[in-house]
Structure 1
Amino acid sequence: MEAAAISRVQTLVESGLSQIPSSYIQPPQHRPNPSPSASGGGIPVVDLSSAAASADLPRACREWGAFQVVGHGVPLRLLDAVRSSGLRFFESPQGERIRYACDPASPASEGYGSRMLARDDGVLDWRDYFDHHTLPESRRNPSRWPHFPPSYRDVMVEYSDRMKVLAQRLLRMISESLDLPSSYIEDAVGEVYQNITISYYSPCPQPDLALGLQAHSDMGAITLLIQDDVGGLEVLKDGRWVLAQPLSDAIIVILADQTEIITNGEYRSSQHRAVVNSKQARLSVATFYDPAKTRKIFPAPQLVTESSPLKYKEVLYGDYVSSWYSKGPEGKRNIDALKI
């Protein structure tokens, strides 16, 4: 069980505090100063059921590294069920939630937590979460997941399977868009390790000082995310933070670091963050599609040419994960360390 000394953000908010603890205050250069582009424009939307997807998807991968997909085939009733199940858990009494506490000494351990990184000296995110280990199926143990509402575990299993299918479809489209064999990125990733993390961002009395999630790029291959109608996910584009406008039927696709490596930088992983507000809680559900830790990741030889020389060193994925959790993400510094 997680030590009582580890505070949950929800618990802090329920205590009625008017100022956030210093451990949550971001340094001035990282604070969420609103910019004009953060409130308008939005990230691209790609309709996978449209013939235009074959052109829209690679453009979004190359220019943004993040986009929303519609026409994806995942039923809206399932997206709504996942969101409502997560909300039901986080709105339950603290005594019920704490039964599923994760191990604070083990980064990314399964369960209910608040602190993700191994470091004790970093600024904390204004967020609580529940992390589910969902694939391979040998890691999947629904008895470790909340038992309320009664459908929670069945919903998460169905959602896990649907997200695997969608991730595979997208990785095939990405491979084909670079004239690689359709299964190239899937084969490079190997046996997939999937985690599903439900994040809950409580209202923050000083939202101009804190972040729900600090700026980072994801460490794996691809991330699929859904959010509620509150909004708060921002993507960095040309030095400006751009809001991912909430769309109830859309799934946000975020390219992660190993895809950037495999594509030799043709497609860039997306740097993103979560901002908070003082009035409404926000919920999002991220599905991470990652290689096994024993997998070696390197650029596709077909994408290394005279005009596009080798850009990244080979990396053992387990080493990459260890570095990410021990040093912290801090933008894209982990993948930048692999650049040749």
Structure 2
Amino acid sequence: METAAEPHRVQILAEVGIANLPTQYVQPPELRPDLCRGGNGGIPVVDLGPSGGDPVPEIACACRDWGSFQVVNHGVPPRLLEEVKAAGSFFFRSPMEAKLRFACDPRSPASEGYGSRMLSKEDGVLDWRDYFDHHTLPESRRNPSRWPDFPGNYRDIVVEYSNNMKNLAQSLLCMISQSLGLPPSYIEEAVGEVYQNITISYYPPCPQPELALGLQSHSDMGSITLLIQDDVGGLEVLKDGEWIEVQPLTDAIVVILADQTEVITNGKYKSAVHRAVVNNHRSRLSVATFYDPSKTRKIYPAHELVTENCPLKYQEVLYGDYVSSWYSKGPDGKRNIDALLIHQ
């Protein structure tokens, strides 16, 4: 049953065929997407395969100029990418009664399970999205009994996907560290024990997509995010004041730098502001893997990257405090990391 504290699932609103968007989903005019515009150049694509050459210089340029890029020939089996998307689609196509067995706590932001509202703010505009959030690492957080058991291999797929995403994230963070002249393990060690969440997001068709967002503009709070999407499209990255569509590429994984990596690199690399737009004719599904520090970890700029020409830019932050602020205030672009800036 839905509770007073939680809105109706977006999927239900879409399936009953409402003609007008409920007011709680209407974005203020300045935040609404211009669905007739948007850059089509796409974000950089980096080939991690043996025939692609040394990827580190390309990663350095992408991290500096974009904070986001796509990787191909990344070593994650294409079969697994399709299986995790298919499992998510199966779940969201299933009867509501079955899905609500796994409902998350609407009073607790980022609680594990099936939900619609991610933030604790009661007065904020809602995203046109339903999701399932899995707590996957460290393994002490991993409790597959809290995940769907339909289709029958759902839980096995999520575990295999979690392990593959961990390996890829570690490899990418090594290359990002190397691109800055740091030891390969530097960022991984700065992050410490990793807390990984995997969120499958479902964006139903929207009756008035020009008024709504599937996911509002924000930068991710942790260290790095790895995302796959279906062929519908809708993910956009902000570059020089323009929203650039991230074109879906077969078997590619989107890499999004998050706020703690910007802090660790002393601003040499920027976390990417991104959002999801929706449409009125096709549903969209994405799978985001968040690779984050533990809440007891203190994050601060690498001493090697603080110089006379590049002075200290960010205050040290306890990651748990950062998370609490993000969920209570709301993301709103990069205002949370901007609050850590040391004004010269």
TM-score range, shorter chain: over 0.9
Deviation at 1:35, TM superposition (A): 5.9
Kindly provide the CA deviation profile for residues 209-241 of structure 1, in whole angstroms up to 9, marking residues without a partner as x.
000000000000000000000000000000000
Task: Give me the whole-angstrom Cα distance separating, in 2, the residues matched to 1:155 and 1:240.
Answer: 37
Q: Please point out which of 209, 220, 227 is paired with 1:207.
A: 209
Deviation at 1:54, TM superposition (A): 1.8
| Matched residue type, 1:103 | D
TM-score w.r.t. length of structure 2: 0.97
Q: Please point out which of 263, 266, 279 is paired with 1:264.
A: 266
TM-score w.r.t. length of structure 1: 0.98
| Matched residue type, 1:29 | E
Q: Please point out which of 216, 219, 244 is paired with 1:217.
A: 219
Q: What does residue 26 of structure 2 align with?
A: 25
Deviation at 1:15, TM superposition (A): 1.6
Q: Is the 8 A contact 1:68 1:251 kept in 2?
A: yes
Q: Is the 8 A contact 2:191 2:299 kept in 1?
A: yes
Q: 1:46 aligned to 2:16?
A: no
| Matched residue type, 1:42 | G
Deviation at 1:6, TM superposition (A): 2.6
Q: What does residue 338 of structure 2 align with?
A: 336
Q: Please point out which of 277, 280, 298 is paired with 1:278.
A: 280
Q: 1:234 aligned to 2:236?
A: yes
Q: What does residue 295 of structure 1 align with?
A: 297
Q: Is the 8 A contact 2:56 2:178 kept in 1?
A: no
Q: Is the 8 A contact 1:112 1:130 kept in 2?
A: yes
| 1:163-174 map, 5 Å | 163-174=165-176
| Matched residue type, 2:226 | L
Segments ≥4 residues shifted beyond 4 Å: none
Task: Give me the whole-angstrom Cα distance separating, in 2, the residues matched to 1:98 and 1:66.
Answer: 34
Q: 1:307 aligned to 2:309?
A: yes
Task: Give me the whole-angstrom Cα distance separating, in 2, the residues matched to 1:195 and 1:43.
Answer: 24
Task: Give me the whole-angstrom Cα distance separating, in 2, the residues matched to 1:286 and 1:54.
Answer: 23
Q: Please point out which of 105, 113, 116 is paired with 2:107.
A: 105
Question: What secondary structure sits across from 2:248 in the alignment?
Answer: coil
Q: Please point out which of 311, 316, 319 is paired with 1:317.
A: 319
Question: What secondary structure sits across from 1:208 in the alignment?
Answer: helix
| Matched residue type, 1:22 | T
Q: Is the 8 A contact 1:35 1:240 kept in 2?
A: no
Q: Is the 8 A contact 1:2 1:103 kept in 2?
A: no
Q: What does residue 60 of structure 2 align with?
A: 58
Deviation at 1:48, TM superposition (A): 0.9
Count of matched residue positions in the alignment of Structure 1 and Structure 2: 339
| 1:81-120 map, 5 Å | 81-120=83-122
Task: Give me the whole-angstrom Cα distance separating, in 2, the residues matched to 1:2 and 1:22.
Answer: 19
Kindly provide the CA deviation profile for residues 107-139 of structure 1, in whole angstroms up to 9, marking residues without a partner as x.
000000000000000000000000000000000
Q: What does residue 9 of structure 2 align with?
A: 8
Q: Is the 8 A contact 1:35 1:241 kept in 2?
A: no
Identity over aligned residues, as a percent? 71
| Matched residue type, 2:15 | E
Kindly provide the CA deviation profile for residues 47-102 of structure 1, in whole angstroms up to 9, marking residues without a partner as x.
01221412111100000001100010001000000000000000111111111100
Task: Give me the whole-angstrom Cα distance separating, in 1, the residues matched to 2:295 and 2:188.
Answer: 15
Question: What secondary structure sits across from 2:62 in the alignment?
Answer: helix
Question: What secondary structure sits across from 2:148 in the alignment?
Answer: coil
Q: What does residue 151 of structure 1 align with?
A: 153
5+ residue gaps, structure 1 = none
